[in-house]
Amino acid sequence: MFLVVRAKRIFLVLCLTIAAIGGIIIYSNRTLVPVFRMGAEAAAVYIIDAGHGGEDGGAVAQDGTVESDLNLAVARRVEGVLAFAGKKTVMTRRNENAVYDEGSATLREKKRSDLKNRAAQINRYDDAYLISIHQNSLPAVPSVHGAQVFYNAANGAETMAGAVQEALNQAVNQGNEKNEKAIDDSVYLMQQVRCPAILIECGFLSNPAETQALKSASYQTELAVVIAAGVLNTTNGAAEHEEL
């Protein structure tokens, strides 16, 4: 047991080191060039989804902070860590715009079109993992805070969610640990994609203190590194190696 825990901590430290070395790449708008490869280049594609976008801003904090902006900031950093580790990455959106069809008129039509287009984009890949970044909000109870992971029904999703949740609990949820949960059937994108998919609610915009943290570039990077570490801990086959 000690060896397993120690191996996981070593793996997290390794990911933190990778992110530190690649800080310039993570913060840059330039093309990411993988300079570190963990073994042979894998066929799997890591798809990072920045939730919402365009007119659909998602949750809004008391100070006016919009969820979609934070989602994109964290998603870019997650992509930076994974790309720096030599992984193939795809983002469902790279700017503030949504990906709906031109014919969409109402906000409802735009949201529906956006989600359908994202699902179609993701399902084009036979071997993929989806990492969807979101922020939570519970205005009725502003004291609630912390990051939580949800997963779809695809094989391997629950394991990946558990690894990411464990990493988040150790890094940012200390004293406020949460459990990974199966995603609700009403979440369209998570139900429509075929690949293992996790949705991370990085924090609560209804909590003023957590909102300030989520707006911080350093905290966004910490979240990204921890999320990437959890994902890689399962998709790299690290779990099997720990049992040897």
Tokens of 214: 């989520």
C-alpha to C-alpha distance for 79 and 174, rounded to whole angstroms: 25
Q: What gap in Å lies between CA 187 and CA 167, rounded to an integer?
A: 24
**pLDDT for 179:** 98
CB 159, CB 152: distance < 8 Å: no
Say what the pLDDT of residue 237 is: 56
> What topology does CATH give the domain 2-234?
Aminopeptidase (3.40.630)
Q: Are 119 and 192 in contact (CB under 8 A)?
A: yes
Tokens of 170: 């150790």
pLDDT recorded at residue 13: 53
* pLDDT score recorded for residue 103: 87
Q: Which residues make beta-bridge pairs with 53?
A: 56
pLDDT of 5 reads 43
The predicted structure's pLDDT at residue 214: 98
| Dist CA 202 CA 44 (whole Å) | 24
Q: What is the pLDDT of residue 12?
A: 54
Q: In the chain, which stretches have pLDDT less than 50?
A: 1-7, 10-11, 18-41, 238-244
* Residue 107: predicted pLDDT: 92
As given in the structure block, the two tokens for residue 23 are: 């800080």
